[in-house]
Amino acid sequence: MTGVPANGSAYRIRHLALEVADLEKAVAFYRTVFGMKVLRRRANPDRNDVAAYVGYGDESSEVSIELYQFLGVPTLPQLPSRSHVAIAVTHIETFFDRAVAAGAMAQVRPQNNRPGSANKFAFIFDPDGHEIELTESAMGGRG
């Protein structure tokens, strides 16, 4: 999705970056649990980090997740936060159970968004403690 502000320039969100302790473990998690593809990898010797970009489509038009690891430096502890990544899924109860079996930590089991709503949500943590909201839309579209 691209936004065009009043000055005529075009903007869009390219990626969301998540620091991880073990890049290969994180890549395997997002590939296994969410079916994401590795879009590209990069190494930055000047910053002493490596990264993999994962997602569902071409980075030129789709948002990706940059998973990055600083080499030889301990990761910072995750602070309590309300920040999270939201990913639309289908069959949220089955998906939730499969994600937990694959190494996600359960936080909030699937439930309706609010009384009377057929839309559902759940929360898990990835192996590095990043919060992920799972959403399912009763309309079958994006949650």
Catalytic-residue membership of 19: no
pTM above 0.95, yes or no: no
Tens of pLDDT along 29-40? 999 999 999 999
CA 66 to chain centre: 9
Q: Write out the residue limits of the CATH 3.10.180.10 domain(s) in the chain.
A: 15-70, 85-136
Tens of pLDDT along 88-137? 999 999 999 999 999 999 999 999 988 888 999 999 999 998 999 999 98
Sheet holding 15-19, edge to edge: 15-19, 64-70, 49-55, 37-44
Q: Which CATH architecture has domain 85-136?
A: Roll (3.10)
Q: Which CATH architecture has domain 15-70?
A: Roll (3.10)
Cα 143 from Cα 92, distance rounded (Å)? 10
**Catalytic pick among 59, 62, 93, 133:** 133
Beta-carbon-side half-sphere exposure of residue 109 (alpha carbons within 13 Å): 3
